[in-house]
Structure 1
C-alpha cells in the first residue's frame, strides 16, 4: 500500500489502536529519512508515547507527513532546476550538485535536531559493537560523534576536515567488489557513512 493509504489508517479512529500504530510504522518504512528505528525514536521524542497515546500518534504522523512534504518540495525544485539546466545544454548534473532523488538527505523542518537524535541513537545501539573491534576510520567517526554531541552539532575546522576525509575513505571502501568479497565490511562502511552524513547535516544546519 501507499504512504497515503497507511496515513489514512493511522487517522482512522474506527480501526483497532494497535493496527493504527502498525500503520504508522508502515509509513516510516516508506519514509525514513534518518533510518527506520531512529525515525521511530525521533517521532516518540517530538510527539510523545504514540504507541499508547492517540494524540501523540496523530502528532507523530503529522510530523512525518510534514517532513515528507518538505522532501517532495525539494524534489520538485530539483526537477525544475534540471529542466532549466538541460535547456542550457547541461545534460548531466555535476557530481557536486545536491540531488534529493532516491532518498531524503535529512529530516525536513528539523535537520539538526533529527540528525543529532540519529547520532545519539547510533551511539547507544550500534557503536558498542563496532567499537569492540575498531579500525582507524571507526575511531575517527566516533571522535567526530563525541565532538558533535558535545557542541550541539557544530564541528571545529580540524574536526570538519577529519570528517570530510573519513567520508571520502568510506566512499572508497563501498566499491561494488567489496560487496562481493566482504559483505560484512561493506555494511560496516555503509553504517559509518550514514552516521558521517548525519554529522555533516548537523554541522551544516542553521
Structure 2
C-alpha cells in the first residue's frame, strides 16, 4: 500500500484487503467511512494520497483497538480473580461485536453519515421477508421504522433529535430472532447489523466530539 512504485489500482486493492482484515464498522460501512473522510479527488481508486490518508485513519483506529483489547484483558483477569466470571452487559469492549470506531477524539460525523447511507442503500435493496412469515405485518412495521430512523439520521446529517430511537428498533429486532438457524433470522440479521450501526452513529452524533 505504501510502495510508491506500485500502480494506484494495486494499492487500492491492498487498501481493500486491509479493510477486510480490520473493519470496525463492518467491511462496507468501514469502506464508506474511509472514502468519505480521506477526501479523495476524484475517488480512492485513483488518488494515492487519499489512499494513504485512509490507511493512516485505519491504522490509528486499529492501534487504539489493540490497546483497548489489552486493557479489557487485564481488567477481566482482575474480575475473574474476584469471582466475576461474565463481563458486564454494558461493557462496550465485551463481546459480541458491535460497530464502533476506536481511536482519536471520536468518530467523524461525515464518515458515519457516509457509512449509514451506504448500508441504508443495501438495506432497501434486499427483498423483505415473505408475507407468509409476517401475517400480522409486524416485520413490515419494523422495516418502516428502521428506514424512518435512517432517513431522519441522514436528513439531519447525523445530528438527530432522538438518538435513542434506533436502539428501540434494535431491541424489537432482537425480540423477533430465535436461537439457532431459522429462516426469519436470515432476513433479520442484516437488519440487526444495520440497526446496530445506526444506533452507534446516532449516539455518536449526540456526543461532544464527532466532526
The TM-score with structure 1 as length reference comes to: 0.78
Cα pair distance change 1:78/1:64, threshold 3 Å = same
Deviates more, 1:60-69 or 1:146-155: 146-155
Output the aligned Cα RMSD: 2.6
Q: Does 1:111 align with 2:107?
A: yes
Aligned to 2:134: none
Contact 1:28-1:36 at 8 Å conserved across structures = yes
Would you say how many aligned residue pairs link Structure 1 and Structure 2?
A: 191
Instruction: Encode CA deviations 1:78-125: one digit per residue, 9 max, x unaligned.
Output: 112212212322122133332355646312244362332221112233
CA distance in 1, matches of 2:129, 2:77: 49
Aligned to 1:167: 170
Superposition map of 1:109-188 within 5 A: 109=104, 110-111=106-107, 113=109, 114-130=111-127, 135-156=140-161, 160=164, 162-177=165-180, 179=181, 181-182=182-183, 185-188=184-187
Q: Secondary structure at the match of 2:100?
A: coil
Cα pair distance change 1:19/1:104, threshold 3 Å = farther
Q: Secondary structure at the match of 2:154?
A: helix
CA distance in 2, matches of 1:93, 1:118: 29
CA distance in 2, matches of 1:165, 1:91: 29
Q: Which has the higher helix share?
A: 1
Aligned to 1:190: 189
Aligned to 2:200: 201
Q: Secondary structure at the match of 2:188?
A: helix
CA distance in 2, matches of 1:32, 1:172: 27
Q: Secondary structure at the match of 1:15?
A: coil
- Which sections of structure 2, spanning at least 5 residues, go unmatched? 131-138
CA distance in 2, matches of 1:120, 1:51: 20
Aligned to 1:44: 35
CA distance in 2, matches of 1:15, 1:102: 38
Aligned to 1:7: none
- The structure, 1 or 2, with the larger RCO (C-alpha pairs under 8 Å, 6+ apart) is 2
Contact 2:123-2:191 at 8 Å conserved across structures = no
Cα pair distance change 1:173/1:101, threshold 3 Å = same
Cα pair distance change 1:131/1:151, threshold 3 Å = farther
The TM-score with structure 2 as length reference comes to: 0.77
- Which sections of structure 1, spanning at least 5 residues, go unmatched? 1-9
1:173 CA drift (Å): 3.1
